[in-house]
């Protein structure tokens, strides 16, 4: 079911430059014209439409920070945040595809890749190839550095052995940033990042998870059995993978904040439209003060989320400290998205509990925000650490 949303998103002009507003509006139009008609179909199928993925590349949304000389848009991290927000307003599954590509994979390659790796992979990642970020394992979630995947040095490179779990974009990806321990005796200081390509001998994509929400977004297991990786595919320095993982995820959390912001905006958009159409006791339910108060509360939490996410993204672009702000934005946005999506279900009543209306999907999608790229407890721990240092 495709629904035209009212435009009740009016961030103050001081938050966006004219260029950013134009870019945001272009993505918003694309989302409503090309993503919205496919959203429910993709959710039911548990798969993103391949034609839609091609359109994302054609519009330049998969290489936002990649330099123009390498086929990207040459824009800012903040612009990537705007894109994730607008796509997630219609479908968070599409939003997270673009988010992982930009804030994790491309960002990691831009920051830590040597010039050779950048020249080899960034034009592909910006132009046609989906990437994935493979850190998590069955036994290493919040304790990410407990990973068991091993990298063994050979005469002309490395062999990777292990399994990765919960890998977003893994079903579509052709390029994977894989974290493995090259020196287990050194603990986390042995962790190293490698660039692995689909089709490498010994590499396979395993089970695809059947999820509660963001069902169209692929979440898969990766299996590596003596996968050969040339030395030229080491990303950054050997033994510095832990640093790459931490710094990349710190930025990625802002992207998840943008996903939750867009989701919450979409839920509120649908709700504002519905309460003005739905009548009870002879008048629209929007006329009742109880409904109005709930809408106002949703709007307050939404705008607080927007300011937190935008602030963290601006700090990152300005090369200012942003880790605490990123944790706050990620924590609050994920909690606010759940509350707003839940209130949307309440205000839709029985209809909200069915799959006939989009708010049911947004409610399911909202739950992941408190889990991936750092659980809420991990964000609280980070915030407390900054408070008490």
Q: In b/e form, how buried is each residue of 196-225, taking b as 16+ CB within 10 angstroms?
A: bbbeeeebebeeebebebbbbbbbbbbbbe
Nearest to 168 by CA among 98, 260, 266, 236: 98
How is residue 65 written in tokens?
């920070």
Distances from the Cα of 140 to the Cα of 27, 165, 335, 341, angstroms: 36, 9, 24, 30
Whether 373 is catalytic = yes
CB half-sphere exposure, 71, CA atoms < 13 A: 17
Within 13 A of 300's CA, how many CA atoms are on the CB side?
Answer: 6
Smallest Cα–Cα separation from 63: which of 22, 29, 109? 109
Q: Is the dihedral of CA 6, 8, 9, 10 positive or negative?
A: positive
Query: What distance in Å separates the CA atoms of residue 58 and residue 35, rounded to the nearest whole number?
Result: 14
Q: Residue 329 and residue 343: Cα distance in Å, rounded?
A: 21
Residues noted as catalytic: 373
């Amino acid at each position: 079911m495709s629904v035209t949303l009212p435009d009740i998103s009016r961030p103050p002009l001081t938050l966006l430059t004219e260029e950013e507003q134009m870019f945001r509006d272009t993505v918003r139009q694309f989302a409503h014209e090309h993503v919205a008609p496919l959203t429910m179909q993709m959710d039911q199928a548990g798969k993103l439409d391949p034609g839609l993925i091609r359109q994302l590349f054609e519009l330049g949304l998969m290489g936002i920070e990649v330099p123009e000389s390498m086929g990207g848009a040459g824009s800012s991290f903040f612009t990537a945040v705007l894109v994730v927000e607008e796509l997630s307003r219609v479908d968070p599954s599409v939003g997270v595809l673009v988010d992982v590509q930009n804030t994790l994979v491309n960002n990691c390659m831009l920051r830590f890749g040597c010039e050779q790796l950048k020249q080899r992979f960034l034009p592909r990642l910006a132009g046609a190839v989906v990437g994935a970020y493979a850190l998590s394992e069955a036994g290493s979630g919040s304790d990410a550095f407990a990973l068991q995947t091993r990298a063994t040095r050979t005469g002309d490179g490395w062999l990777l052995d292990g399994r990765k779990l919960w890998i977003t974009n893994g079903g579509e990806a052709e390029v994977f940033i894989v974290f493995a321990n090259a020196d287990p005796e050194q603990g986390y200081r042995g962790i190293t990042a490698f660039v692995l390509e689909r089709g490498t001998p010994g590499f396979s994509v395993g089970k695809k998870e059947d999820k509660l929400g963001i069902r169209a977004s692929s979440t898969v297991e990766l299996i590596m059995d003596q996968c050969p990786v040339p030395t030229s595919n080491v990303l950054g320095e050997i033994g510095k993978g832990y640093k790459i993982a931490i710094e990349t995820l710190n930025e990625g959390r802002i992207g998840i904040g943008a996903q939750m912001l867009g989701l919450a905006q979409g839920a509120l958009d649908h709700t504002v439209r519905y309460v003005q159409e739905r009548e009870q006791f002879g008048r629209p339910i929007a006329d009742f003060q109880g409904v109005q108060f709930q809408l106002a509360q949703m709007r307050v939490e939404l705008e607080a989320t927007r300011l937190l996410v935008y602030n963290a993204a601006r700090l990152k672009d300005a090369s200012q400290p942003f880790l605490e702000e990123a944790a706050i934005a990620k924590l609050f946005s994920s909690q606010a998205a759940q509350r707003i999506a839940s209130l949307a279900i309440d205000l839709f009543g029985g209809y909200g509990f069915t799959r006939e209306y989009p708010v049911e999907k947004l409610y399911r999608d909202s739950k992941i925000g408190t889990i991936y790229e750092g659980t809420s407890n991990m964000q609280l721990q980070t915030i407390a650490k900054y408070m008490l240092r």
